[in-house]
């Protein structure tokens, strides 16, 4: 299996990206195709003693500007490392693509360069996140700020398929993020999406979920429009960070509290590992023809390696084939 990597995307590129690729080559038995300015990549690898064994340089320019309009990636002469990687993916030069660069640009680029799966109107971003029970997927996390009900139905099918194939869940519980559990709750979008999801045979829809229940893992797939999903994702991250910062402050107060923290170390580190999103890799771009993974912008080597592992699983387990089957079944039903 060959994974194409955006070598220059992300806050810690290229150093942590290349280190992550090296780990992936060793641990995951994959080949890597590095997209991006060859001089830069070689220089960084040389200076840091990183072997480029089993890594091919496929060219490309500099990183995508994080502040550029996402659509600039579509300019015909875009030579950014992200555009180069996506083009290589669409031309079959690898089995999946991983980037830690701009989420917006990756969503737009994947949609128009790699192209959509048959039956999927709008690709979306699905993030696998920890809960106090088992991990769950939240989608859309921000690719589509405004959605139609039909899109939310499709997100439910795609998220369910992903959790089934990649996370090996038998019958993922799919829920719609809403302000109450009753079917008539929410705005027009939620009411219509509820009705569509309820009829959908390709996912196990359990109804609405209130935000309060999401961190407890009461659903395996949480469906929302991209605006709401992005709010939920970032509120989850922010609240966890703010609380942990406060608790750290309590631990650091005195010699006695520091000693106490030491006694709690093993429990706390298990917990930290459970809550560490880098363990789960990155977010999956669902609904495009080839597997695309968005690694966290601040990924270190380990997080990036895990994103590559996720890309391998995404490609290996036939998620896209299953999504296409489900969408075709739906289209046939609609045509009757």
Looking at the chain, how many residues does it have? 336
**DSSP states of 40-57:** HHHHHHHHTT---TTEEE
Q: Tell me which of 267, 334, 335, 336 binds a copy of itself, using CB under 8 A.
A: 267
Number of residues that bind a copy of itself (CB under 8 A): 57
> Quick check: 234 binds a copy of itself (CB under 8 A)?
yes
CA 124 from centroid of its chain's CA atoms: 9
> Quick check: 47 binds a copy of itself (CB under 8 A)?
no
Q: How much of the chain is helix, strand and coil, in % rounded to 5?
A: 50, 15, 35
Cβ atoms of 286 and 144 closer than 8 Å: no
Considering only CA atoms, which of 58, 67, 65 is closest in space to residue 97?
58
CA 299 from centroid of its chain's CA atoms: 13
Give me the least distance between CB of 107 and a copy of itself, in Å please.
12
Binding mask 269-308 for a copy of itself (x = CB under 8 A): -xx--xx---------------------------------
> Quick check: 134 binds a copy of itself (CB under 8 A)?
no
> Quick check: 192 binds a copy of itself (CB under 8 A)?
no
* Cα–Cα distance measured from residue 221 to residue 138, given in angstroms and rounded to the nearest whole number: 6
Q: Tell me which of 75, 121, 134, 145 binds a copy of itself, using CB under 8 A.
A: 145
Q: Tell me which of 235, 273, 328, 331 binds a copy of itself, using CB under 8 A.
A: 235
Strand residues in the chain grouped as ranges (E):
2-6, 31-35, 55-57, 96-99, 124-129, 136-139, 173-177, 204-209, 221-223, 283-286, 292-294
Q: Which of these ranges, 80-88, 209-217, 302-310, 325-333, lies near a copy of itself under the rule CB under 8 A?
A: 209-217
The residue among 179 and 331 lying less far from a copy of itself, judged by its C-beta, is 179
CB-based burial label for 67 (10 Å; 0-12, 13-18, 19+):
exposed
Considering only CA atoms, which of 275, 145, 279, 152 is closest in space to residue 205?
152
Give me the least distance between CB of 24 and a copy of itself, in Å please.
28
> Quick check: 216 binds a copy of itself (CB under 8 A)?
yes
The residue among 201 and 253 lying less far from a copy of itself, judged by its C-beta, is 253
> Quick check: 251 binds a copy of itself (CB under 8 A)?
yes
Kind of pairing between the strands at 124-129 and 136-139: antiparallel
Q: Tell me which of 52, 66, 206, 211 binds a copy of itself, using CB under 8 A.
A: 211
Q: Tell me which of 71, 195, 243, 331 binds a copy of itself, using CB under 8 A.
A: 243
Give me the least distance between CB of 63 and a copy of itself, in Å please.
19
Q: Tell me which of 78, 111, 161, 230 binds a copy of itself, using CB under 8 A.
A: 230
Burial 158-167 (b: 16+ CB within 10 A, else e): bbbbbbbbbb
Joined tokens for residue 80: 């950014």
Interacting residue ranges for a copy of itself, rule: CB under 8 A: 131-132, 142, 145-146, 177, 179, 185-188, 190, 210-216, 226-228, 230-247, 249-251, 253, 256-257, 259-261, 263-264, 267-268, 270-271, 274-275
């Amino acid at each position: 299996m060959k994974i194409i990597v955006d070598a220059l995307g992300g806050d810690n590129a290229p150093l942590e990206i290349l280190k992550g690729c090296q780990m992936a080559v060793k641990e995951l038995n994959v080949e890597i195709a590095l997209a991006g300015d060859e001089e830069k990549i070689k220089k960084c690898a040389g200076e840091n003693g990183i072997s480029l064994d089993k890594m091919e340089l496929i060219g490309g320019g500099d990183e995508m500007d994080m502040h550029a309009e996402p659509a600039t990636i579509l300019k015909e002469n875009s030579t950014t490392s992200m555009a180069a990687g996506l083009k290589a993916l669409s031309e079959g030069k690898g089995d999946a693509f991983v980037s830690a660069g701009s989420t917006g640009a990756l969503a737009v680029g994947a949609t128009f360069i790699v192209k959509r799966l048959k039956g999927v109107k709008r690709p979306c971003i699905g993030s696998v996140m920890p809960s106090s029970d088992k991990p769950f997927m939240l989608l859309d996390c921000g690719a589509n700020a405004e959605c139609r009900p039909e899109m939310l139905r499709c997100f439910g099918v795609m998220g369910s398929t992903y959790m089934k194939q990649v996370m090996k869940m038998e019958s993922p519980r799919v829920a719609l993020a809403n302000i109450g559990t009753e079917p008539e709750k929410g705005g027009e979008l939620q009411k219509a999406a509820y009705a569509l999801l309820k009829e959908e045979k390709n996912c196990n829809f359990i109804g609405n979920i209130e935000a309060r229940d999401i961190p407890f893992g009461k659903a395996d797939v949480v469906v929302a429009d991209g605006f709401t999903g992005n709010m939920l994702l970032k509120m989850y991250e922010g609240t966890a960070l703010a609380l942990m910062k406060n608790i750290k402050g309590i631990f650091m107060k005195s010699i006695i509290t520091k000693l106490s923290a030491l006694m709690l170390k093993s429990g706390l580190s298990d917990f930290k590992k459970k809550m560490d999103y880098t363990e789960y890799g990155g977010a999956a771009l669902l609904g495009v023809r080839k597997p695309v993974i968005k690694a966290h912008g601040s990924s270190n080597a380990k997080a990036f390696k895990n994103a590559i592992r996720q890309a391998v699983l995404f490609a290996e387990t036939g998620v896209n084939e299953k999504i296409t089957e489900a969408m075709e079944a739906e289209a046939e039903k609609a045509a009757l």
